[in-house]
A and B are shown apart, each in its own frame.
Chain A
Amino acid sequence: MSAGPYPTVWRAPSFFGTRARQQAVVIAALIYLIWSVSTLHIDARRALAGFARAADLFARMIPPDFSRWELLLKGMTESLQMALAATLAGVLLSIPLGIAAARNLAPRPVYLAARALIVTGRTFHEVIIAIFFVKLFGFGPVAGLLTLALSSVIFLAKMLAEDIENVRAGPIEAVRATGAGFWQVVVYSVVPQVLPRSVGTAIYRLDANVRHSTIVGIVGAGGIGQTLSASFSRYDYDFAAAILLAIIALVALGEWFSDRVRTKLR
């Protein structure tokens, strides 16, 4: 093939449309990088010292110290209990809130109030909620339980409301056409559509609660997080390593379990 009249230069079209726009994006990103890094007051020497410290830290973490396994087990059990109880409370309380937040079921003012509650509740990190419960109920697993329960209620209610809003109208009409009453309609057409998804969401939330139960302890709300936080503040790094491994195992197991059950349900 002759290369005669054809252009010999070709540039791939830019991801951002035009080449000028791509350059603008790159420059903006660079400016952001410079600006953000400069405002963070990063102490370069301290950061570089981190590598040596990291090596030191890992050396002190290995081998992980499982000799205080009773303390470890107590913390893990507490976390698991918090997660389970919170999921139960979350499931029960999310039903009324979820119905209230479903546009196609609830009256407008109720819907708006429920949605506002959900939006506000979702915004705050579990640790922030936990610290308030610690102030109200003192240190310990009760504060953690309430934290996880509250965030579960809000999460599950949001998912339930969306599922209810997405219910297909066809089956409802079909059941109604047989002459069924309101509750028969709900039981035979709404529940079968919503239930499988909701069970899946609840199991997902149990998994998420197991994860979160490991951190609310950072502010004193019980569970393994409290044990971990304490071991870090005492520079007890080999025990901390043991706790971290236990957390990784528990969370991975929880995720495996939740994935398995949810695929089975589908």
Chain B
Amino acid sequence: MAAAPEEKQTESLERPLLAIDSLTKVYPGGTRALDGVSFAIRRPEVIAVIGSSGAGKSTLIRCINRLVEPTSGSILLGATDIVRLGAKDLRQARRRIGMIFQEFNLVERLTVMENILSGRLGSVSFLASFTRRYPAADVANAYAMLDRVGLAGLHDSRADALSGGQRQRVGIGRALMQNPDLLLVDEPTASLDPKTARQIMRLIRALAEEGATPALVNIHDVALAQGFADRIIGLKAGKVAFDGPVAELTPAVLTDIYGAEDWSQTIRRESEEETSA
């Protein structure tokens, strides 16, 4: 399916923030996880990527910062094609992309502060990171970040002493410390309870808006996706099956993405949005 629908042609005079073109990933063994995925992000918005397990959501996000090597296609972040970068330039590009993980992926034995500051690793020397001496501005920003994600005072706690929701807040803080041009978010709520999941989604959305950072969010929970995203991309067997605003997500579209099911309970109504926001 084409990346940019016709009516958005006017906006495309400017360079897109992120442009993915016919991205394909074939794993050794022949699994075609991504098959010619194309889409563009033209303004800071929260995009939810939905699709059943194995549809390629996780591969897509990991191809963008090349934690997984794409087989072919291009990924333009601003003017840089990430697919073609050498090791050193790739590190530079990764500094511009913040990533938030399902399992939080904190270094458990380090403190909250060390985990938050690890978002600055790309900009400090090896020796500075080894001796944990970060620039004063980074330290102040880290304290401010802890405050912003609601973890003030916990800087010297060890990451493994925190609850799931708190750990994800650290994960979010680490990604935002990079001052990213793009946020990649991989199933941020799959390891959390429903209430915490909503709080975390709300925080990610608010921070993305504050920094005018586009965010690409893999998410299983269709209701959460509808509640917190501006735009939905539906993946099916490695291909884009739907790309459009939240309002256009109909039961027919969901049936196309996931298969037949009674979707009437899943699709959120405007009234629900009001009460639970």
Contacts and interface: CB of A to CB of B under 8 A. Distances in A.
A1 B144 contact: yes
B144 A12 contact: no
Contacts of B274: none
A10 B142 contact: yes
Contacts of B134: 10
Interface string B129-142: 00010101101111
A263 B61 CA distance: 38
B176 to A, nearest CB: 9
A63 to B, nearest CB: 41
Contact of B145 (A1, A4, A10, A13): A1
A3 B137 CA distance: 7
Contact of A10 (B139, B144, B147, B148): B139
A12 B111 CA distance: 8
Interface residues of A, number: 12
**Chain A: interface secondary structure?**
loop
Given A1-B145, A12-B114, A7 B140 contact: yes
Task: Say which size band chain B's interface belongs to.
Answer: 10 to 19
Nearest to A3: B140
A8 B145 contact: no
A10 B140 CA distance: 9
B258 interface: no
A12 B132 contact: yes
Given A8-B136, A10-B155, A12-B111, A3 B144 contact: yes
B114 A6 contact: no
A10 B141 contact: no
A173 B181 CA distance: 65
Nearest to B134: A10
Contacts of B139: 6-10
Given A12-B111, A12-B132, A6 B156 contact: no
A46 interface: no
Contacts of A10: 113, 117, 134, 139, 142-143, 155
B136 A9 contact: yes
A11 B139 CA distance: 10
B143 A6 contact: yes
B156 A8 contact: no
Interface string A121-150: 000000000000000000000000000000
Interface string B43-85: 0000000000000000000000000000000000000000000
Given A4-B140, A6-B143, A6-B147, 8 more contacts: A1-B144, A1-B145, A3-B141, A9-B136, A10-B113, A10-B134, A11-B132, A12-B114
**A-B CB proximity, top 10 nearest:** A8-B136, A3-B140, A6-B143, A12-B132, A6-B140, A10-B139, A8-B140, A1-B144, A13-B156, A6-B144
14 contacts: A1-B144, A1-B145, A3-B136, A3-B141, A3-B144, A6-B140, A6-B141, A7-B143, A8-B136, A8-B140, A10-B113, A10-B117, A12-B113, A13-B156
